Amino acid sequence: MRKKPELIINQNKLSRNIDRMLAKARKSRAIFRPHFKTHQSLEIGKVFREKGIDKITVSSVSMAEFFAKDGWDDITIAFPVNLLEMKEINKLAADIQLNLLVDSQYSASVLASGPENKVGVFVEIDTGYHRSGLLPDDPEIDAIVRLVSASGKLGFKGFLTHAGHTYSARGKQAVLSIMEDARQKLNDLKAKYIGQFPELIASYGDTPSCSMADDCSGFDEVRPGNFVFCDVMQYHIGSCSLDDIAVAVACPVVSVYPDRNEIIIYGGAVHLSKEFIAADNGFKLFGYVAELTEGGWGAPIPGAYVSSLSQEHGIVKTPKQFIGKFKPGDVVGILPVHSCLVADLLRPNLNK
Amino acid sequence: MRKKPELIINQNKLSRNIDRMLAKARKSRAIFRPHFKTHQSLEIGKVFREKGIDKITVSSVSMAEFFAKDGWDDITIAFPVNLLEMKEINKLAADIQLNLLVDSQYSASVLASGPENKVGVFVEIDTGYHRSGLLPDDPEIDAIVRLVSASGKLGFKGFLTHAGHTYSARGKQAVLSIMEDARQKLNDLKAKYIGQFPELIASYGDTPSCSMADDCSGFDEVRPGNFVFCDVMQYHIGSCSLDDIAVAVACPVVSVYPDRNEIIIYGGAVHLSKEFIAADNGFKLFGYVAELTEGGWGAPIPGAYVSSLSQEHGIVKTPKQFIGKFKPGDVVGILPVHSCLVADLLRPNLNK
């Protein structure tokens, strides 16, 4: 019996979400290298493996170690290389095909002096998100490619981008035009270097665009992550249906306030994270609310939502006609705004 | 050597923060029952114990179990009782003085039928925060007191409030008037019941007001928590100085973008939480930035701050004159916005 906040997963939806993305990648003749930061779970990794996936993306050396121990042997760490973890990188690279990201000449040159074993290197390209990566016309790209190819231990793999700016785009066309722009930029770079490096690839990662596009042709590799669970954020972007959301957090009801049309749940920022969706008028949404069923959860209760979170408390607002549904000792399902953060919080089995 | 995001604690500041609050509680003749949800640490618990503190507050049954195992034997769970954990509550109550919160007749009556061992019960009062608790004039309070006192196993302890609305107050006077209002409300209730329950107490919790008040007289017990670490949020409220902040997160620098005056750190939402301070113009602040020193960290770099967080990446904006300070492979200190959430994220030793 559930008595504390707990992640619950709908295996059918999860499997369907994977199948759909895998079929799209295959149709597009792109390598499917899903991002495992979303679930950080060996069990879910096994579901992918059973479907034939053998290449993965992670976002830290620790996460690479975690999955390598479970037999994953082709891993890209889609995060600017952390030069302080060269020892761990060397250890990993002795056993698996490890790919790293560099976004500066400085990091490339330190890296070139470091590895004892063969390591693949992607140059990270900023196609508009402006987090990490070099702009496509940055002359440093060429300097990095030369540094990497001159090194005996580094193998130049290609160009990689994460188009995270889809999360602030509005509407399908805006999302798809971000993807198209990234495709153009990566392929222009690829065209420049393919003669010298016939095997180089253009690698693209981002769940909203990969979900909304009919296919992902024009990329050699795709690395979406969040699609496996989906969440209320993806639903708001328009990249999944409510029925695609494969995770919920079971939260005990501890108080019911009929006069305020609010219930208090045991489920706070340490379980659901502080991620929210905001509207202009100050409205904040930290999750939808669903009744738990035998096999999972039902459709979200119309008009009910998590309006506020403190460390362990969540406040759920609900229309008056539903307040009578709840009493202390019940358990409700919360569909999270950001499933990656929730999975990280509720699966503390990874040594961060 | 630090190579991954890591919580660092300045023991001198921590000790000074405890001493200051303890002295204030003693001067006010109030029981000092600090909230341990902030640190969730046995080591920091020992620091408190060595200073003579033997009563604590926590916010979940799991946290009570965690500290009870370490010898803490007088614990209040300042969270509406989770009726689904009666088994665990009974087990705890066999060994320690355990105090619970109720905020409804329903929970009180279920609770009254449950315990095998003596349990203390506070009625939670909503003095304006409007999270959990009953309004001071709610007739349900009297019904709960009668239910509790009629039960053989429940002992009525008094009235308890958390004045969390100080966090949205602006200025010292506004914060102190919230505290004064809570004092008045709890003491009015106390006056009504003290004849029948001569030992009942008025218990008050909230770091900003307990920090800003000259003393806490008029409450029988105070339960601040965050004061032990402080954070950028407390600094913005005006309830601590920058020098009082006793925690930072050591974060490796992985990229430097001089053209954008931005650096990328290995330190994201899974390390710092998504808690931020917002200004009207869309400005968001997820932490201050300091250089690490031999014994800890220096004063925050003027104008430098964490402007954005994704799962593992943090973006630091810095004035142009400081961008040259940083290169990949350095480690910077981030002063967090909300130390409780950061401690929860970076100390995953508690079974949530």
Give every CB contact of residue A275 below 8 A, 6+ residues apart in sequence. Answer: A233, A286, A336, A337, A338, A341, B269, B274
The predicted pLDDT at position B152 comes to 87
| Domain termination site, one of A194, A227, A260 | A227
Of A84, A164, A274, the CB nearest to B310: A164
The continuous run of DSSP H or E covering A86 comes out as helix A86-95
| Whether pLDDT at B348 is above 70 | no
Q: How far apart are the C-alpha atoms of B250 and B266, rounded to whole Å?
A: 9
Angle at the Cα of B13 (from B10 to B19), degrees rounded to 5? Answer: 140
Residues B144, B215, single domain; the answer is: yes
Tally the C-alpha atoms within 13 A of residue A342's C-alpha that lie toward its C-beta.
Answer: 30
Strands B262-266 and B247-257: antiparallel
Mean pLDDT of B220-231: 98
Count CB atoms within 10 A of the CB of residue B195. Answer: 7
Q: Which of A37, A82, A274 sits opposite B311 (nearest CB)?
A: A37
- In this predicted model, what pLDDT tens digit does every residue of A24-44 receive, in sequence order? 999 999 999 999 999 999 999
Tokens of A89: 């990188």
**Residue that is written with structure tokens 């029925």 in the block:** A243
Q: Are residues B259 and B300 in the same domain?
A: yes
Chain B residues with CB under 8 Å of A311 CB are 37, 59, 340-341, 344
d(CA B322, CA B302): 9
What is the rounded average pLDDT for all residues in chain B? Answer: 95
Based on the fold, state whether residues A106 and A47 are members of the same structural domain.
Answer: yes
CA distance B187 to chain A (A): 24
Task: Examine the domain organization and report whether B155 and B287 are in the same domain.
Answer: no
Q: What digits encode the pLDDT tens for the residues A313-337? A: 999 999 999 999 999 999 999 999 9
Three-state DSSP at B107 gives helix
> Among the three residues A227, A255, A285, which one is the final residue of a domain in this structure?
A227
Count of CB pairs separated by less than 8 Å, A with B: 160
Q: Which residues from A are below 8 Å from B81, CB to CB?
A: 254, 328
Is residue A164 situated within a structural domain? yes
DSSP state at residue B131: S
Angle at A316 between CA B175 and CA B234, to 5 degrees: 25
What CATH number is given to the structural domain containing A265?
A: 2.40.37.20
How far is residue A105's CA from residue A332's CA, in Å, rounded to a whole number?
Answer: 51
Judge: A83–B329 Cβ closer than 8 Å, yes or no: yes
In a domain, A26, yes or no: yes
Classify A88 as helix, strand or coil: helix
d(CA A200, CA A194): 6
| CA gap B269, B119 in Å, rounded | 38
B95 and B197 fall within a common domain: yes
Rounded CA separation B158/B180 (Å): 18
Residue A282 CB-density burial (10 A; 0-12 exposed, 13-18 middle, 19+ buried): exposed
Closest-approach residue (CA) in chain A for B3: A84
Is B84 within 8 Å of A37 when comparing Cβ atoms?
Answer: no
Q: Which residues from A are below 8 Å from B103, CB to CB?
A: 255
Q: How far apart are the first and last CA of chain A?
A: 29
Domain boundary among A227, A258, A275: A227
Instruction: Grade residue A281 by pLDDT with cuts at 50, 70 and 90.
Output: confident
Q: Are residues B54 and B160 in the same domain?
A: yes
Measure in Å the smallest separation between the Cα of B334 and chain A Cα atoms. 17
Helix, strand and coil percent figures for chain B, each rounded to 5: 40, 30, 35
Query: Do A150 and A196 belong together in one domain?
Result: yes
| CB contact set of A198 (below 8 Å; sequence gap of 6+) | none
Task: Identify the band that residue B350 occupies on the pLDDT scale cut at 50, 70 and 90.
Answer: very low
Strands B74-80, B284-285: pairing is unpaired
- A236-271 confidence digits (pLDDT tens): 999 999 999 999 999 999 999 999 999 999 999 999
Residue B172: domain span: 11-228
What are the chain A neighbours of B206 within 8 Å (beta carbons)? Answer: none
Which residue in chain B is spatially nearest to A104 when comparing CA positions? B255
B272 alpha-carbon distance from chain centroid: 16
Single-letter amino acid, residue A161 = T
Give the list of residues 6+ apart from residue B30 with CB closer than 8 angstroms, or none: B216, B217, B219, B220, B221, B222
The answer to whether A130 contacts B164, with C-beta atoms less than 8 Å apart, is no
B107 and B193 assigned to the same domain: yes
Task: Give strand ranges (E) for chain B.
Answer: 6-9, 31-32, 56-58, 74-80, 97-102, 119-124, 154-162, 201-205, 221-222, 247-257, 262-266, 277-278, 284-285, 287-292, 297-309, 313-317, 331-336
Mode of pairing for the β-strands spanning A221-222 and A31-32: parallel
Same domain, A172 and A108: yes
Distances (CA, A) of B240 to B13, B33, B129, B322, B341: 12, 20, 22, 26, 18
Q: Sign of the CA dihedral B199, B205, B207, B210?
A: negative
Share of chain B above pLDDT 70, in %: 99
Q: Which residues of B touch A255 (CB under 8 A)?
A: 80, 103-104, 107, 132
A99 Cβ contact list (under 8 Å, min separation 6): A75, A76, A77, A119, A120, A121, A122, A157
How many domains does chain A contain in total?
A: 2
Q: Are residues A223 and A256 in the same domain?
A: no
- Rounded Cα distance, B127 and B85, in Å: 27
- pLDDT at residue number A180: 98
Same domain for A262 and A334, yes or no, is: yes
Q: Cα(A160)–Cα(A144) distance, rounded to whole angstroms?
A: 14
CA–chain centroid gap for A36, Å, is: 7
Q: Does the distance separating the beta carbons of A131 and B266 come in below 8 Å?
A: no
Nearest to A84 among B3, B310, B352 (CB): B3
pLDDT, mean over chain A: 95
Q: Which residues in chain B have their CB less than 8 angstroms from residue A80's CB? A: 254-255, 264, 328
Predicted pLDDT of residue B282: 82
pLDDT at A192: 98
pLDDT (tens digit per residue) in B244-266: 999 999 999 999 999 999 999 99
CATH code for the domain of A83: 3.20.20.10
Of B106, B254, B341, the CB nearest to A269: B341
- Does B151 reside within a domain? yes
User: Cα(A277)–Cα(A338) distance, rounded to whole angstroms?
Assistant: 10
Residue A60 lies inside a defined structural domain of this protein: yes
What number is the average pLDDT over the span A144-173? 95
Q: Is residue B239 in a domain?
A: no
- Identify the pLDDT of residue A341: 96
> Does a structural domain hold residue B169?
yes
- Tell which of B62, B89, B131 to mutate to test the A interface (max A CBs under 10 Å): B131
- Suggest the residue from A109, A312, A339, A347 to mutate for an interface test with chain B (most B CBs closer than 10 A): A312
- pLDDT tens for residues A182-226? 999 999 999 999 999 999 999 999 999 999 999 999 999 999 999
> Is residue A4 a part of any domain in this protein?
no
Cβ separation A270–B341 shorter than 8 A: yes
Please give the pLDDT value at position A114. Answer: 73
B200 and B68 assigned to the same domain: yes
- pLDDT tens across B68-116, in order? 999 999 999 999 999 999 999 999 999 999 999 999 999 999 999 877 8
Asked whether residue A348 carries a pLDDT value surpassing 60, the answer given is: no
Say how far apart CA A189 and CA B235 lie, in whole Å.
Answer: 47
- B-chain residues near A272 (CB < 8 A): none
Question: Nearest-CA distance from B81 to chain A in Å?
Answer: 6
Instruction: Tell whether B335 is covered by a domain.
Output: yes
